[in-house]
Structure 1
Amino acid sequence: MPDDSQPVAANQDDALVLRQDTGAIARVTLNRPKAYNSLSLEMMRVLTATLQEIGQDQAIRCVVIEGAGKGFCAGHDLKELRSRTDRAFYEEVFETCCQLMSTITRLPQPVIAKVHGIATAAGCQLVATCDLALADDAARLSTPGVNIGLFCSTPMVALSRNVPRKRAMEMLLTGEMVSAPVAAEWGLINQAVDHAGLEAAVMSYAEAVASKSPHVLKIGKRAFYQQLDQSLDEAYRHTAQVMTENMLARDAAEGIDAFLEKREPQWTGE
């Protein structure tokens, strides 16, 4: 486990994405520190494949995404984008980015962003897409595309689903950095914590999540995102069915019995 006073160190390997499992928690590290972990096309492909692999791993109950080096993620690789001028390449880049974000949302395990340094553009989108996010109180987040003639349209999707409309538009139209404490106040992240305590805070969340039934985490996360786009009546109908199915699960019976019997539950994942 990395030292709790430092961001994850860059691995000497050339791997774009690193995975280290700690019990039921998968630690996934973006590993392009010299480029502030900017999301090249290949990096997005590797990260998506890594997450899909984790999604099939029944031993993992929670995922933490972090960045090597001085920052979390600076967004798309602008040098790579300017190396090409063809529509097909740009479509592939942004479709791959959308697939990555959808993979996180659809992953059965909850995903936590551990943010330090900067999280800008698609990096901010990544933070907003994760189910939970904690940041070093010196971290800064932004959607600065407007400053370089490239409006942050895909980051806008995740951003606008996390913060109030006026705040989202403020970030999108000005491109200015938002401090971690302000991001927490707006709801973009869960907490801004002292740098020395970031690792402990993230692991506290991760361990709390990982202690729950993986079956319940899966159906609960899926239902949360499904009901967001439904009307009030549709959402209640849908979640009533989800709870009915949940009550029929083995882990629901075990959890309720354990609570009534004042003992720790033994989850089966069913």
Structure 2
Amino acid sequence: MGISTARPERGIAVVTVDFPPVNALPVVGWHALADAVRAAGAEPAVNCVVLAAAGRGFNAGVDLKELQRPAGHAALVAVNRACAEAFSAVYDCPVPVVAAVHGHCLGGGIGLAGTADALVASDDAVFGLPELDRGALGAATHLARLVPQHLMRTLFFTSRTLTARELHGHGAIWRVVPRPELAGAALALAREIAAKDGVLLRLAKAALNGIDPVDVRRSYRYEQGFTFEATLAGAGDRHRDAFVSRHRGKEPS
């Protein structure tokens, strides 16, 4: 359980998230993920990082139960900062990051997928932002990097999901493969990337980030301000409490 890093081949580091049952990360998990991605990207011998997950799905966002325990707003501030740090670590990784997505990719999972440089997904993967149903806002910044603007808004307002095949149709996913082939497909893409000149890869990553039309760090932090406002208005806690109550004693979907 936790975050682990492996180096299966020359030039490739695989960072794996494992927080059962559904990879809904606590604050410490988001920070650990950020640290692992930064460390892998800082290795001179690493030319590509693969971000993967163990268990039922890629990522189910934040651990909402952690938000409900303390009084006051310290927990929400901590979660906001931790998610922003993890997403920035993936986006700012000096080498390309390939996300290998299976099962659910929800909430914070969209933040990770949307800041990665390339996506490979299994055919059971589903992507979505159920934020409005859970008393939050955020990661529309990252969903907008995966789908066209009006579809992003429709998905956000409805909390609907897209399958990997549907997302592939919008050009966001490189390949969709059967679940048993996911690790191999992600490594194949990482291998092709890692074979390039490491100096040029790092320059290319910096250049591509530099020409992004939206500053993803500032945009996401702007969204988070509205999550905090929703909590102050009472709507945030109301929906988070309802979600946690519905799923108490059973695994969340």
TM over 0.5: yes
Q: What is the alpha-carbon distance in structure 2 between the residues aligned to residue 84 and residue 174 of structure 1?
A: 30
Shift in Å, 1:56: 1.8
State whether structure 2 residue 149 is matched by structure 1 residue 165: yes
**Identity among equivalent pairs (%):** 29
Aligned equivalent of 1:112:
98
Once residues 32 and 39 of structure 2 are traced to their aligned partners in structure 1, the CA distance between those partners, rounded to angstroms, is 10
In structure 2, C-alpha distance between the alignment counterparts of 1:200 and 1:120, rounded to whole Å = 23
Question: Which residue in the other structure is 1:179 paired with?
Answer: 163
Q: CA deviation at 1:206?
A: 0.6
CA distances 1:130-169 after superposition (whole Å, capped 9, x unpaired)? 1111111111111011123323x2x111111332101111
Q: Which one of 166, 178, 203 corresponds to residue 194 of structure 1?
A: 178
What count of residue pairs does the alignment treat as equivalent? 213
The CA distance in 2 between the partners of 1:57 and 1:169, in whole Å, is 38
Q: Which of 29, 41, 56 is residue 16 of structure 2 equivalent to?
A: 29
Identify the residue that residue 147 of structure 1 maps to in structure 2.
Answer: 133
2:80 to 91, 94, 97: 94
The letter for the 1-side match of 2:196 is K
Q: 1:77 to 1:219 in 2, by over 3 A?
A: same
Find 2:62's aligned residue among 76, 79, 84: 76
The residue number in structure 1 matching 2:108 is 122
**Among 169, 175, 194, the residue aligned to 1:210:** 194
Counterpart in 2 of 1:58?
Answer: 44
> What is the deviation of 1:126?
0.9
Instruction: Tell me if the contact between 1:144 and 1:172 (Cα under 8 Å) persists in the aligned partners.
Output: yes
Amino acid at match of 1:91: V
Q: What does residue 268 of structure 1 align with?
A: none
The CA distance in 2 between the partners of 1:120 and 1:177, in whole Å, is: 9
After superposition, residues 129-144 of structure 1 pair within 5 angstroms as: 129-144=115-130
Deviation string, structure 1 residues 28-83 (Cα, Å, up to 9, x no partner): 1101122x111210001111111121122111111111111111111111111111
Distance 1:188 1:171, change over 3 A: farther
1:167/1:186 contact within 8 Å kept: no
Aligned residue number for residue 206 of structure 2: 222
SS in 1 for 2:211: helix
The yes-or-no answer on 1:46 pairing with 2:46 is no
Distance 1:106 1:175 in 2: 28
Contact 1:62/1:109 (8 A) holds in 2: yes
Partner SS state of residue 167, structure 2: helix
* SS state at 1:63 partner: strand
Q: 1:93 to 1:148 in 2, by over 3 A?
A: closer
> Runs of 5+ in structure 1 lacking a partner?
1-13, 231-270
Q: TM (normalized to structure 1)?
A: 0.75
Contact 2:128 2:161 in 1 (8 A): yes
